[in-house]
Structure 1
Amino acid sequence: MRPILLQGHERSLTQIKYNREGDLLFSVSKDHVVNAWFSHNGERLGTYEGHIGAVWTVDVNSTTTLLVSGSADNTAKLWDVSNGKCLKSWEFNTAVRRVQFSEDDKMILLVTEPRMGFPATLQIFNVENGATETVSSEPLTVIHPEGPKITVAAWGALNKYIVAGRENGSVALIDPKTGDCISTNKVHEATITDLQMSADRTYFITSSKDKSAKIIESEFLEVLKTYTTDTPLNSAAIMPKVQEFVVVGGGQEAMDVTRTSSRQGKFECRFWHKILEEEVGRVRGHFGPINTIAIHPDGRSFASGGEDGYVRVHHFDDDFFSFKFQI
C-alpha cells in the first residue's frame, strides 16, 4: 500500500475532507491556504486564497458546488468550488474553529472560540442556493452555550440537533432552534479533539487527548465502543461499507517531538475493529503527530494530514477487502 504524498502546504495540517463522491480531497493548514486535490492520483486541482490567518476547518456541500472554511483571522468564507471565487465572507470577534454544512446543504454551522472576553458561540447561517445575493450576512441563530468550551460540533440526523464536543471531555446535544442543551454526557477525561458522524448520523466517533476514541449513539449519547491507545489522539474516522474498522491517529504533542524519534512518538494511523474493539493494524509514515484523518466515502482509501505538512493518501490493496479478523 504505497501512499501518495501531497505537498501543498508549508505548515501543519488542521483538517482534510473528501467530497460526497470521493473524487476530490480538500485540505487546510496553518499556512492560510485551502487546497483541492484529485484523490485518485494526488494531482492538485487548485487553491482557494483569501484568508490571512491559519485555516482551522473546511467542509464541502453534497453537490461539490460550495466550500466553506473557518480561520484564525476571525472570518469564515464561502467559496465556489469550480472557480475558486469567494462568494461570501463572514466576520466574527474570534477565530472560527469548526464549520459544517447541514444535511440538506441549506445551512452552515460555525463554532467560534472564547477569546479576549468574547464568549464562545455556535452560529447558523442560511446558504440555501449559494447565490451571493441570497446568502445571509446575519446568522439565523446565535447560541451561547454554557459550560466548558466547545471544541468540535456536527449536525445530527435531519438537522434536528447539533452534537458538540467540549474541552472537559463531555458531549452535548443542542437544539439548533432554541439553543437549549437537550442532554449531556461526560465520555472522556480530557479535551475532545475530533468528532465525525457515521453515514446515517445515528452514531458518531470522538477522539480525545485522554488517549481514547469512542463510538457514541447520537440520540441518547450512550457510549457503544471504546478504543484505548497509548498516545493522545487528534482524529478518528469510521470506515464505511467495506470493512468494520475505525481509524484513529495522533501522537506525542508537537512541542515534544524534537526530542523523540518517529517510532517512539507513535505517529501512525491505527486500525481498530469497530465491533470487537481490537487493534488490527497500523500505517506509519508521518514525521510528527497526525492531526486529521478522513476516509473515502466508498471505503477504498483513506487520507491523513500531519504536523509535518504532508497529506498522505493510501489506496488499499486488494487483500485488504478480503481480510477477515480472526477472533
Structure 2
Amino acid sequence: MSYTRTDEAYGSSSYHKRSRNIYTQQGGYNQRSQQSVQLNYDYEEGQSHQPQQRKVGHRRTVDYTGTVARWRHKRVVCPYSKEPGVVRPKKDYIIDVFPPSAYCDNPISSTTVKFVHSSVNKVRHPVNLVRWTPEGRRLLGASSSGEFTLWNGMSFNFETIMQAHDQAIRAGEWSHNDDWFLSGDQEGIVKYWQPNMNNVKVLAAHREAVRDLSFSPTDAKFVTASDDSTLKIWNFNEGQEERTLTGHGWDVKCVNWHPTKGLIVSGSKDNLVKLWDPRTGKCLTTLHGHKNTITRAQFEPTRGDLLATSARDQTARIFDIRMMRDIAVLRGPSCDITTLAWHPIHHSLLATGDFNGAIHFYLLDTYQSGAAASLSSAAVSVGGSSSSQTASVAQTARSFEPVQSVPYAHESAIWSMEFHPMGHILCTGSNDKFTRFWCRARPGDSAAFKDGYHLGNENPQGSTYGADRHGHGGGH
C-alpha cells in the first residue's frame, strides 16, 4: 500500500505555523484529517464550527408481545367472554388492540393497509419470493440473483444475505413441521435447507425452471411445477421422483397441495386449473374459468373447502371444491393479477397483488348486488380433459369488489406476498426490487395509506418511490 506526503501552504506565515504533514492513502485525503485541520484553522480565525451531526433516523417496529400478553390476560380474567371489547378511534386505545385471532367475527379489522417499512439490498434485484419463517421472527426474501436475504420480523432491518442458487429463485416453501425449506430456481434445481440455512441436498428436478412447489400434509412428499409443462411428485426423504403428472399443454405456473387431503391443484399458461389425485397421478377435474395464464392457485388454509386462483385476465376466482365450480369472481384491478394470499386466521379474507403494484383486500362475506353481480358459466370437465364429457351449467358467481386497496404499494409488479403467521403483517416482494411490510391501521388513523409512501407519482416527500422505475426484467 503506497502513501503520499502532502504539504499544504496557503502563502500565509500564520498558516505555516499551523501546517502539518497529513499521510493519506493514494487517491485522496483522509476525511478526519481534513476536518481536524479545518477546525483548527477556523478556531484561530475566531470561527469555531462543529462537524455536522448525523441525522438520527427513526425505524418503525411492530412488536406483538404486548398485545398477545394483554389478550392472554383477558382470557384468564374473563374466560367466558369472547368479545375483545370496543376499540375507539383514538390513539389512546392502541393498547387495546389485540391480535387478529381475537377478532374472529370482525375480519375487516385485519386488513393490513398501513405502511411500515421498505427494505432493499445494496445490490438491487427483483424480489421473486417472500416467505415468513415458521415462528414469524424473520422474513426470507429470494431474488433474481439467486440470493437469500433475511430481514428481522419486528424491526425489519437487515440480518444476513447468502448466495443460495446460481440462477434466479422462483419457488420456495416451508414444511409443515417447520424443519425444512425447499427452494427451486430457473435451471430446474431444487435444494433442501435446514432452518439455519444449511444446504443439505440438491436435486436436478426439471429440465426447465421450477415455478412452484408444495409439501404434502405429512411432509413425506412434495410436488414441483415447471415450465416443461409437467408436475412431479417426490419422496422427500429419499429425494426420488415417484410420479410425473402430465396433462397441461403449456408451462405450469403454480401448484398447491391441499392442507389435509390427498389433492393437488395446478395452474398453467394454457388457462386451465386442474385437480389431481397424487396417489394415481390422474387428473380428477379441469376448471375452465379464466381466460389467460393462471398465476397463482392456493387452497384456503384453515378449512380447505375453498380454492383461490388468480390470472392475467384481471380477475381472481374462488372455487368451492365440494361443488367443483366458481362461486365468486374478485374484480377491481384494471391489470393482470400476479399473486394472492389467504389470511391465516380469517378464512373469508384474502389479498391480491397486481402488475401495477397495487394491493387489494377482499372479504368474501360482502356481496355486491345489482349491476355488479355477474353470471359466470363454470364449465367443469368430469373426465380430466377438455375433450371429455363436459357438464356446463350456468351458475351464479358472486362478484366482489375490494373492501380496501393500496393503489401505489409498489412501482412495478408484485411477484409474491404472504401474511405473518399471526396475521397482523403482510409482506410483499416486487419487481421494483423492494420488500415492503404492511400492518393494521392504528386507532385514530382515518387514512391509513394516504401518507407520503402511498401517493405514487404525487409523492411530495420524494421517498423511495420512483427510484427504480425501469426494471421490468426478471419477473414471473
TM-score band (shorter)? 0.7 to 0.9
Task: Work out the CA distance in 1 between the residues paired with 2:127 and 2:250.
Answer: 25
2:360 to 263, 267, 270: 270
TM-score, normalized by length of structure 1?
A: 0.83
Return the letter of the residue paired with 1:223: D
Cα separation, 1, equivalents of 2:444 and 2:273: 33
8 A contact 1:12–1:307 mirrored in 2: yes
Residues 148/113 of structure 1: CA separation in 2 closer, same or farther (3 Å cut): closer
2:297 is aligned with what amino acid?
L
For 2:154, the equivalent position in structure 1 comes to 40
Change (3 A) 1:311 1:267: same
**1:210-249 alignment runs, 5 A limit:** 210-228=313-331, 229-241=333-345, 244-249=348-353
Seen in structure 2, the aligned counterparts of structure 1 residues 65 and 32 have a Cα distance that, compared at 3 Å, is same
Contact 1:110 1:124 in 2 (8 A): yes
Between structures 1 and 2, the one with greater helix share: 2
Higher mean C-alpha displacement, 137-146 vs 149-158: 137-146
Report 1:190-201 matches (<5 A): 190-200=292-302, 201=304
Equivalent residue, structure 1, for 2:230: 121
Work out the percentage of aligned pairs sharing the same amino acid: 20
Aligned partner letter, 1:162: I
**In structure 1, distance between residues paired with 2:319 and 2:129:** 22
Q: Which piece of structure 1 moves more, 103-112 or 179-188?
A: 103-112
1:71-123 per-position Cα deviation (integer Å, ceiling 9, x unaligned)? 012211011122x2111100132221111122222222111222xxxxx2211
Of 104, 107, 130, 1:16 maps to 130
CA distance in structure 2 between the aligned counterparts of 1:320 and 1:81, rounded to whole angstroms: 39
CA deviations over 1:36-94 (Å, ceiling 9, x no partner): 33322213443452311111011112333211100012211011122x21111001322
* 1:36-185 aligned within 5 A: 36-82=150-196, 84-91=197-204, 92-114=206-228, 120-127=229-236, 135-185=237-287
Secondary structure class of the residue paired with 1:97: strand
Q: Tell me whether 1:288 sits opposite 2:412 in the alignment.
A: yes
SS of 1:140's equivalent in the other structure is: strand
Provide the rounded CA distance (Å) in 2 between the counterparts of 1:72 and 1:147. Answer: 20
Say whether 1:279 aligns with 2:402. yes
Q: Which has the larger radius of gyration?
A: 2
Residue deviations 1:184-237 (CA, integer Å, cap 9, x gap): 111111001112221132212111100011112234432121111311110112
162 and 41 in structure 1: CA distance in 2 versus 1, 3 angstrom threshold: same
More strand by share: 1
Distance of 1:28 and 1:197 partners within structure 2 = 23
2:141 is matched with 27
